[in-house]
Structure 1
Amino acid sequence: MKRRVPRMNDQESAAWLGLTSVFSLLPAALDRQLQRDSGLTHFEFVVLSGLQLSPEPTMRMTALAEASVSTLPRLSHVCGRLEKRGLIERSSCPEDRRATNVRLTTDGRRELIRSIPGHIATARRLVIDALTPEQLDALTDITTTITARLTQEPTP
C-alpha cells in the first residue's frame, strides 16, 4: 500500500515522505556512529566543529548557537556536558558581562580530530557513495534552495 500525504499529489507526497524519512533516519545514524566511536552526539560534533572553524579562538554563545542552528538553552545544556568532559571552556565575556564566551580546549580539538575520519566515512557510506555525481549535484541544488527558503522565514 502506497502512502500519500493529504493535499499533496503522488509526486509531492513521495518527495515529502522521502525527505522526512531522511531527516529522521540520518541524524540517528550519525549519532550512533559518533557515540560508538568517540562518545559524542552529532550535535556535540557540530558544536565542536563550529568552534574549530571559528576564525577567533573564542566565540560568544549567541554566535555559536547561530552557527550550530540551535537555541541558547539547548546549546547551554550541551556546553555544560562538553565542559564537564574538558572539551570546551566557558568564560564571561569581558565586553558584555551578560554574554558567555566558549573556546575549544586542546582535549576538545584532539577529540574532534579523532572523530572526523569515522564521521566522514559514515557520511560517505550513507549518502555520498550512494549517489551518482548527477544526483549529488541535484542534492546540492535541492538543499541550497530549501536552506535559502528556511533562512528567509521570519521567526515567530
Structure 2
Amino acid sequence: MTTDVWSYALALYARTGVEEACLDLQDAGADVCLLLTGAWLGELGIAYSDARLAELEAVAGPWQREVIAPLRQLRRGWRLQAQHDEQLAGLREQLKRLELEAEKMALSRLEDIALEWQKGVASDLSPWLEGCAGEAGRQRRAALDELRSAASQGA
C-alpha cells in the first residue's frame, strides 16, 4: 500500500468500477476527495470518529465549494461548445488539469490533518466511507458498496 493519500487515491480510482462509483456519489453530493481520503484512512487503520471527520470536513468543504466546484462547473458547462470550438476545447483541457491539481491540493491538505493520528488501531474502513459519503452514501448505497469493495481489496 502507498503511504501518501495522492498515490493511494490514484491507485484506488484506477480500479474497476471506482470511477463510476465516485462520480455517482459526487452527483448525489459527496466530496470525492473526502471519500478517497476516508478510504485511505481506513486502509491505514486509523480509527474513525465524528470529531476527526468534522476536522476533515472543515478543510474539505470550503476548498470544494470555493475552488474545485467552480472549476468543475465551468469545465462541464463548456462540454458541448468545446466539441465545435477547438480553442475552447483546449481551454477546457487546461481547466480539467487545473481541477485535478486542485483535487491533489485538497488531498494534501486532508493528509496533513491526519499525519498525527495513530495508525493500525482499526480494521474496518466502513465507518470512514459512510461518514465521508454522508447522505449521498445513503442515497447511492450500491455506489458506496462498490467503493468499499474496491478499497477493501487494497489499492
Q: Per residue, is there more helix in 1 or in 2? A: 2
The normalised TM-score by structure 2 is: 0.28
Q: Greater CA radius of gyration, 1 or 2?
A: 1
TM-score, length-scaled by structure 1: 0.28
